[in-house]
Amino acid sequence: MAIRNGDGYVFSTTNNQSTLGIQKEFADMYDGAGQDTCSPFKVKNVQEVTVGESTIVTYEICPGTFNNLMPQVYNETEEVFEYLDDLTTGYQLILDFASTSSCIVYLRVGPDATTNQFPPSAPISPYDPDDPYPTVFNTGGTLPTDTDTYGYLALAKVNSLGSGVYSVDQYVTGSLWADRIKLAGITARYYYARI
């Protein structure tokens, strides 16, 4: 097997040792380019919106894949679950800031209850709230604990800084591949890798 030189890098082998030389800087996804840049699962455009006499906090999330599947998220307006890549650009999702000053946006996924396939290749239709298909949720509390039924992965944490200002701690910055390992007598373990 041979690795060839490419744009921005040089590969060489000497005395059975390999060297990869980077000739260009990697693009920094947090370069201040603005809120409109997108990377998989990026939470952005957090803002307060007035609806009637209430103020809600909304956000956008960029599409990303999980084991080559497009996760779903709940569309509050239509009251249906939609794939992340089907959301209209600029569509705002509602964050749960009811009792705290931060909110965790997370992915929930589990094995198919019948086949034990992880994750299931398609969501249950019509939607079932216990569907193990990869789905994005958010909570004003703590991230749920992994169980045999579901694994939970924090994608980002949104913090209220006061006066309608919010910051985002982004934990996941790329699409994901995952595996679930379940042994007798212990809770299933979930392992994630960025791809």
Task: For residue range 52-83, list pLDDT tens digits in order.
Answer: 898 889 999 999 999 999 999 987 767 788 99
pLDDT at 74: 85
Could you count the other beta carbons within 10 Å of the beta carbon of residue 102?
17
pTM score = 0.80
Q: Which residues contact 30 (CB under 8 A, 6 or more apart)?
A: 170
Rounded Cα–Cα distance for residues 47 and 159 (Å): 11
Residue spans per domain, the chain: 31-194
CA R_g for the chain: 20
pLDDT at 79: 77
121-151 confidence digits (pLDDT tens): 999 887 788 999 999 999 988 999 999 999 9
Q: How many CA atoms lie within 13 A of 72 on its CB side?
A: 23
